[in-house]
Chains A and B, each alone.
Chain A
């Protein structure tokens, strides 16, 4: 795999994470526990779609096939999506949604921080912009987790349950393959084991403040970066891609 191919694949991975999580958050639209939170989730969702769009746009410049960001978003099937398994998991209740957000945003924050030192100028710029937004997403979601962990018995129970349910998908974010090998060797991306150590530190602090127990590592599932997903992604894409697939060639 040459550097360009690796970078293309890596951009898809980043963008796919954002679009899939953005889509999940958009499911909350008109369904939030309070109006302010409805809007906050829409806001995060909008940020993520924006990040996905610019990362797809960059990806299209790395291949010569006249594709657009919309082609990449709406016309690839689940086996061609490289997002992590965590982000495609169903929303569950509000505790699970916020837990998913904390686990992902803490990862994204450390990854973008590292990418701010990338040898690839465009990626560096994209990471710097996304980092700002990601910090806010992490703050927002971790505040809820801490509130829940110190709230009512019910909120504590739901939040611990959320962590236990989602933990199995977290290792998947740090899986490396030939894409990472190539990009690390060129100083474009970085070792995800180092990101994982930082991530672990960040979430441990949040969870300590929220009185949460770290779950046992059982039934760990991986596969996102190879395009091997859980059953949920296909349904998400089916809905998201409906109009583009039903009316090939139409513009909107």
Chain B
């Protein structure tokens, strides 16, 4: 078969709704895009542990502490799961981590914002995991089998995170004046970064059209963002939080909540490395990765010695 025939067959399979598996033929651009996206997704899960771990030691109750720790553990587990899904492209985790640390691979920009009060933990669960669910529910329908399956599994846990985050906000909104202030402050700081998670407008997104044809993406950024806004605005109002957007209004005809233009200068500044925590997040990752080097070396040395022993005793 010529490459053109292979491509035609590949596209026909996708059109028919079949999943592509690692051993199947696929165009290079397909595997390249997916690897980029999946490793970025894995890195996001791992880097996302940092802003949340910032409050683990200060969680205000035993219950809150356990829920937060378990959530962060879930995110790390998502990272592990996605790294192995990305490894189906023949790259190993160590190489992906190197790409992250040299800036060749990216992670979600939303984690370049700081967690400044306890309500930020609520806001992350509710808004950031909430936005992630909308995106990942879409990705569960993507054409690449290992990614699609990873998303189905991960989405279930994200649902818990979202509800637990919302619960933190709801509780604080029925609490003291100081608690309400913290919750609104967190809302004000996380609302826009959460909307930015869906990426640029469709017209400006470089990867969109090919990704849509190959079902790497099955819905557009703007459509997903609108779905998230519609869902979230009512949840905010329900507990008395104000959405920090003076132009927010409900359109009865389209049944959409219309919102202001995103500050794209800020969006691109953070993507390009100039967000409040870009440097901190990467420095943290590199520091602890390097400090753990002797542990990894010792584990390998021990394994080698064990194998040697087995050889000599056989």
Contacts and interface: CB of A to CB of B under 8 A. Distances in A.
A42 B175 CA distance: 30
Interface in B11-39: none
Q: Is the interface of A mostly helix, strand, loop or mixed?
A: helix
Contacts of B171: 251-252
Nearest to A159: B298
A162 to B, nearest CB: 13
B62 A53 contact: yes
A241 to B, nearest CB: 9
B118 A243 contact: yes
A30 B80 CA distance: 13
Interface string A34-74: 11111100110110011011001000000000000110011
Please report whether the interface of chain B is mostly helix, strand, loop or mixed according to DSSP: helix
A94 to B, nearest CB: 5
A201 interface: no
A150 interface: yes
B58 interface: yes
B101 interface: no
Contacts of B294: 152, 154-155, 158
B61 interface: yes
13 contacts: A29-B49, A31-B288, A32-B292, A34-B296, A35-B46, A38-B49, A74-B60, A152-B294, A154-B294, A155-B295, A243-B58, A252-B168, A252-B172
Interface of A: 23, 26-27, 29-39, 42-43, 45-46, 49-50, 52-53, 56, 69-70, 73-74, 93-94, 147-148, 150-152, 154-155, 158, 239-240, 242-244, 247, 249-252
Given A46-B70, A94-B295, A250-B176, 13 more contacts: A29-B53, A30-B49, A30-B288, A39-B76, A74-B61, A147-B302, A150-B302, A151-B297, A152-B294, A154-B297, A155-B294, A252-B61, A252-B118
Interface of B: 46, 49-50, 53, 56-66, 69-70, 72-73, 76-77, 79-80, 83, 118, 168, 171-172, 175-176, 178-179, 284, 288, 291-299, 301-302, 305
